C-alpha cells in the first residue's frame, strides 16, 4: 500500500469528516461549502473553528490553499462572504399567558361589582353612609394596589408560587386589619357621622371583596372570582329589574353579603401554605416598593370618587353624570390592560427589528399614540353603552348637561392609562405626584363644581401625556 502524502492525508481526513466524495480545491468553492457559517460568523475565529471541527487544520490550509495556517484561511473567507446572519428565533411572548381573552374577562371583573352599588344605595340609609363607603373604597383600593404589587413582585422575582402565596396571605391579613380599623374609626372616632351598622358592614364587605379579588387576580384565578361575584351581581340585578321590591330586601342583603365572604374564603384556600417554607416574608425592597403603589391607589380612588361625593356643584348631592361615567371607567380598565399589552408587544418587536435610535423614538411614540387611541375608543364606547342601558332600565335619564362630566372622566381614564403604562415601564413617582396635584386642585376648587374636575383632568392628561411621550421614546425604558 502506498503511503499518502501530507496534502493527500489532510484531504482524506476532510473528506471523511464531511462525508463527501471530494473536498473543495479552491477557496471560492470552500466559501460556498461553508456559506452558512461564513454569513453568520461574528469574526474569523468562528469560521476557523468550523473548519478545524471538520478536519481542516493548519497543514491542509498551507499545502492545499496556500495560507500560513487555518486562521489566515478563515480570515480570507470571512472577508470574501458578505454577512447575512440568520435571524434568531423569536422569544416567547411574556404577556401571552392566560390568552387574549384575559383582558376581556378582567373588564367584566372590574365592572360587575358596579351592579351591586345601585342596589345597595337604596338599602343603605343614614347620615354617614356616603362618607363611610367612600372611606372604605379608598382604603381598600389603595391597600389592594400594594397587595397586588407585593404579589406580582415576589412572583416575578422568585418564580416561586409557594412564596407568593405566603406573601399574599400576609398582605390579605394586613389589608383586612386596615379596613376593620377604618370602619371602627368611622363608628367611634368620627362621632358626628354615626353610620349605621348596615353601612359599616357593607364597607367592611367592600374591602374584604377587593382584597380577596386582588389575591385571586395575582394567582390567575379569575374564574373563581366570577363564582364569588355571581350571588351579589345576580341578586342585585334581579332586585333592580323588579323595581326594588321591599319584600326582597333581606334576600338581596344576604346575596350581597355572600360575595365578599365567598371571595375571602377562596382567597384563603388559594393561599394555603404548600411545600417547605423558603424565603423571607419581609423583603425590605419589596415592602418599600409597595408604598408608591399604595399611594397611587389612594390618589386614583380619590380622582374617581371625589366628584361623586362632592356632587355636581361641589356641595354634595347626587352626581348622576359622575355615576354614569364612573362605571364604564371601571369597565374600561380591561380595555386599558389590553391596549397596554398590545403596546408592549409592538415596542418589543420594534426593538428587535430597528437599530437606529432616532427612528425607534419616533415609531415608539406613534405606537403609544395608537394604543391611547385604542383605549379612548373603547372607553367612549363603554360610556355610550352605559348611558343607553341606564336609560333603558330607568336608572338614569340622559341629559346633555352630563357631557362635561363624562368628558372629564374620559380624560381621567386616558391619563390613568398613560400612568399605568409609565408604571409598567419603571416610572412610578411622576404619575403619583401629578395625580396627587390634580386631586388636590379638585378638592381645593370644589366650589367650581364640574369645571374644577375638567381643569384637573385636562392638566393631568397633558402633563402625563407629555412626560410619557418623552420618556417612552427612549429604548432603555423598554427593557422593563
Are 120 and 219 members of one domain? yes
| pLDDT, position 101 | 66
pLDDT band at 401 (very low <50, low <70, confident <90, very high): confident
Q: What percent of the chain is predicted at pLDDT more than 70?
A: 85
Q: Alpha-carbon distance 378 to 106, whole Å?
A: 14
pLDDT band at 1 (very low <50, low <70, confident <90, very high): very low
Select the more confidently predicted residue: 178 or 390.
178
> Which range has the top average pLDDT, 182-186, 188-192, 326-330?
182-186
Mean pLDDT for 280-295 is 86
Q: Alpha-carbon distance 69 to 60, whole Å?
A: 8
| pLDDT, position 90 | 60
Residue range(s) defining the domain that contains residue 267: 102-282
| pLDDT, position 19 | 41
Place of cell 479552491: 26
Q: What would the pLDDT profile of 12-69 be if each residue is shown by its tens digit? A: 444 444 444 456 778 888 888 888 888 888 888 888 988 888 888 888 888 888 888 8
CA torsion 293-295-296-298 (nearest 10°) is 120
Are 423 and 478 members of one domain? yes
Select the more confidently predicted residue: 300 or 479.
300
Q: Alpha-carbon distance 12 to 56, whole Å?
A: 10
Are 17 and 70 members of one domain? yes
Kindly state whether residue 91 falls inside one of the protein's structural domains.
Answer: no
pLDDT band at 264 (very low <50, low <70, confident <90, very high): very high
| pLDDT, position 460 | 95
**pLDDT exceeds 80 at position 308:** no
| pLDDT, position 274 | 76
Could you please report the per-residue DSSP string of 12-27? HHHHHHHT-SS--SSH
Kindly state whether residue 96 falls inside one of the protein's structural domains.
Answer: no
Are 179 and 114 members of one domain? yes
Do 385 and 346 contact (CB within 8 A), yes or no?
no
pLDDT band at 97 (very low <50, low <70, confident <90, very high): low
Q: Alpha-carbon distance 161 to 446, whole Å?
A: 46
Q: Alpha-carbon distance 110 to 124, whole Å?
A: 22
pLDDT band at 189 (very low <50, low <70, confident <90, very high): low
Residue 176 C-alpha cell reads as: 383586612
Kindly state whether residue 404 falls inside one of the protein's structural domains.
Answer: yes
Are 231 and 258 members of one domain? yes
Q: List Cα–Cα distances, 396 to 158, 180, 302, 313, in angstroms.
A: 49, 34, 24, 19
Are 258 and 326 members of one domain? no
| pLDDT, position 13 | 46
**Of the residues 45, 80, 115, which one is the last residue of a structural domain?**
80
| pLDDT, position 125 | 66
Find the DSSP H helices in 311-402: 320-353, 357-393
Are 296 and 277 members of one domain? no
Kindly state whether residue 17 falls inside one of the protein's structural domains.
Answer: yes
| pLDDT, position 267 | 93
Are 436 and 343 members of one domain? yes
**pLDDT exceeds 70 at position 122:** no
**pLDDT exceeds 70 at position 429:** yes
pLDDT band at 174 (very low <50, low <70, confident <90, very high): very high
pTM of the model: 0.71
Q: What are phi and psi of 19, to 5 degrees?
A: 70, 25
Residue 437 C-alpha cell reads as: 396635584
| pLDDT, position 441 | 94
C-alpha atoms less than 13 angstroms from C-alpha of 175 in its C-beta half-sphere: 36
Q: What is the Cα Rg of the chain in Å?
A: 32
Among the listed ranges 112-121, 236-245, 446-455, which one has the minimum average pLDDT value? Answer: 112-121
Q: What domain count does the chain have? A: 3
Kindly state whether residue 85 falls inside one of the protein's structural domains.
Answer: no
Among the listed ranges 119-123, 265-269, 348-352, 387-391, which one has the minimum average pLDDT value? Answer: 119-123
Cβ neighbours, 10 Å, residue 69? 14
| pLDDT, position 318 | 67
Are 325 and 472 members of one domain? yes
Are 335 and 382 members of one domain? yes
Are 175 and 218 members of one domain? yes
**pLDDT exceeds 90 at position 275:** no
Nearest to 148 by CA among 93, 211, 204: 211
The 3-class SS string of the chain reads CCCCCHHHHHHHHHHHHHCCCCCCCCHHHHHHHCHHHHHHCCCHHHHHHHHHHCCCCHHHHHHHHCCCCHHHHHHHHHHHCCCCCCCCCCCCCCCCCCCCCHHHHHHHHHHCHHHHHHHHHHHCCCCCHHHHHHHHHHHHHHHHHHHHHHHHHHHHHHCCHHHHHHHHHHHHHHHHHHHHHHHHHHHHHCCCCCCCHHHHHHHHHHHHHHHHHHHHHHCCCHHHHHHHHHHHHHHHHHHHHCCCCHHHHHHHHHHHHHHHHHHHHHHHHHCCCCCCCCCCCCCHHHHHHHHHHHHHHHHHHHHHHHHHHHCCCCCCCCCHHHHHHHHHHHHHHHHHHHHHHHHHHHHHHHHHHCCCHHHHHHHHHHHHHHHHHHHHHHHHHHHHHHHHHHHHHCCCCCCHHHHHHHHHHHHHHHHHHHHHHHHHCCCCHHHHHHHHHHHHHHHHCHHHCHHHHHHHHHHHHHHHHHHHHHHCCCHHHHHC
Nearest to 332 by CA among 221, 396, 410: 410
Do 159 and 295 contact (CB within 8 A), yes or no?
no
Q: What would the pLDDT profile of 431-465 be if each residue is shown by its tens digit? A: 999 999 999 999 999 888 889 999 999 999 999 99
Q: What secondary structure letter does DSSP report for 189?
A: I
pLDDT band at 316 (very low <50, low <70, confident <90, very high): low
Q: What secondary structure letter does DSSP report for 473?
A: T
| pLDDT, position 10 | 46
Kindly state whether residue 166 falls inside one of the protein's structural domains.
Answer: yes
Q: Alpha-carbon distance 424 to 478, whole Å?
A: 10
pLDDT band at 6 (very low <50, low <70, confident <90, very high): very low
Are 416 and 464 members of one domain? yes
**pLDDT exceeds 70 at position 317:** no
Mean pLDDT for 143-149 is 87
Mean pLDDT for 227-248 is 87
| pLDDT, position 22 | 55
| pLDDT, position 103 | 67
- Give the distance, in angstroms, between the CA of residue 438 and the centroid of all CA atoms in the same chain: 23
Amino acid at each position: 500500500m502506498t503511503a499518502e502524502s501530507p496534502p493527500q492525508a489532510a484531504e482524506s481526513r476532510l473528506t471523511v469528516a464531511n462525508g463527501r466524495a471530494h473536498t473543495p480545491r479552491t477557496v471560492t468553492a470552500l466559501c460556498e461549502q461553508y456559506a452558512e457559517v461564513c454569513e453568520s460568523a461574528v469574526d474569523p475565529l468562528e469560521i476557523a473553528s468550523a473548519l478545524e471541527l471538520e478536519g481542516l487544520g493548519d497543514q491542509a490550509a498551507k499545502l492545499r490553499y496556500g495560507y500560513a495556517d487555518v486562521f489566515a484561511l478563515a480570515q480570507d473567507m470571512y472577508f470574501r462572504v458578505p454577512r447575512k446572519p440568520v435571524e434568531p428565533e423569536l422569544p416567547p411572548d411574556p404577556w401571552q399567558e392566560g390568552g387574549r381573552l384575559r383582558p376581556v374577562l378582567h373588564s367584566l371583573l372590574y365592572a360587575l361589582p358596579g351592579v351591586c352599588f345601585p342596589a345597595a344605595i337604596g338599602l343603605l340609609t343614614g347620615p354617614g353612609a356616603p362618607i363611610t363607603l367612600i372611606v372604605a373604597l379608598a382604603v381598600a383600593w389603595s391597600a389592594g394596589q400594594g397587595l397586588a404589587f407585593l404579589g406580582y413582585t415576589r412572583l416575578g422575582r422568585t418564580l416561586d408560587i409557594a412564596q407568593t402565596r405566603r406573601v399574599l396571605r400576609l398582605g390579605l391579613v394586613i389589608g383586612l386589619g386596615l379596613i376593620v380599623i377604618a370602619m371602627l374609626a368611622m363608628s367611634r372616632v368620627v362621632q358626628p357621622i354615626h353610620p349605621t351598622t348596615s353601612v359599616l358592614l357593607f364597607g367592611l364587605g367592600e374591602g374584604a371583596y377587593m382584597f380577596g379579588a386582588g389575591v385571586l387576580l395575582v394567582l390567575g384565578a379569575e374564574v373563581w372570582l366570577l363564582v364569588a361575584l355571581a350571588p351579589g351581581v345576580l341578586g342585585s340585578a334581579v332586585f333592580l329589574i323588579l323595581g326594588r321590591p321591599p319584600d326582597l330586601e333581606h334576600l338581596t342583603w344576604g346575596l350581597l353579603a355572600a360575595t365578599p365572604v365567598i371571595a375571602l374564603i377562596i382567597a384563603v384556600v388559594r393561599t394555603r401554605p404548600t411545600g417547605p417554607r423558603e424565603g423571607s416574608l419581609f423583603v425590605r425592597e419589596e415592602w418599600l416598593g409597595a408604598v408608591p403603589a399604595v399611594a397611587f391607589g389612594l390618589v386614583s380612588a380619590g380622582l374617581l370618587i371625589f366628584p361623586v361625593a362632592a356632587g355636581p356643584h361641589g356641595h354634595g348631592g347626587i352626581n348622576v353624570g359622575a355615576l354614569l361615567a364612573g362605571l364604564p371607567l371601571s369597565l374600561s380598565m380591561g380595555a386599558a390592560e389590553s391596549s397596554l399589552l398590545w403596546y408592549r408587544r409592538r415596542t418589543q418587536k420594534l426593538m428587535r427589528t430597528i437599530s437606529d435610535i432616532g427612528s425607534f423614538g419616533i415609531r415608539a411614540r406613534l405606537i403609544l399614540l395608537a394604543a391611547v387611541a385604542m383605549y379612548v375608543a373603547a372607553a367612549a364606547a363603554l360610556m355610550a353603552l352605559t348611558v343607553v342601558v341606564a336609560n333603558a332600565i330607568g336608572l338614569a335619564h340622559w341629559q346633555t348637561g352630563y357631557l362635561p362630566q363624562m368628558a372629564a372622566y374620559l380624560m381621567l381614564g386616558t391619563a390613568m392609562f398613560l400612568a399605568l403604562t409609565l408604571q409598567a415601564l419603571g416610572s412610578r413617582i411622576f404619575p403619583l405626584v401629578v395625580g396627587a396635584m390634580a386631586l388636590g386642585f379638585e378638592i381645593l376648587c370644589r366650589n367650581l363644581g364640574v369645571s374644577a374636575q375638567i381643569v384637573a383632568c385636562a392638566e393631568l392628561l397633558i402633563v402625563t401625556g407629555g412626560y410619557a411621550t418623552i420618556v417612552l421614546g427612549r429604548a432603555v425604558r423598554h427593557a422593563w
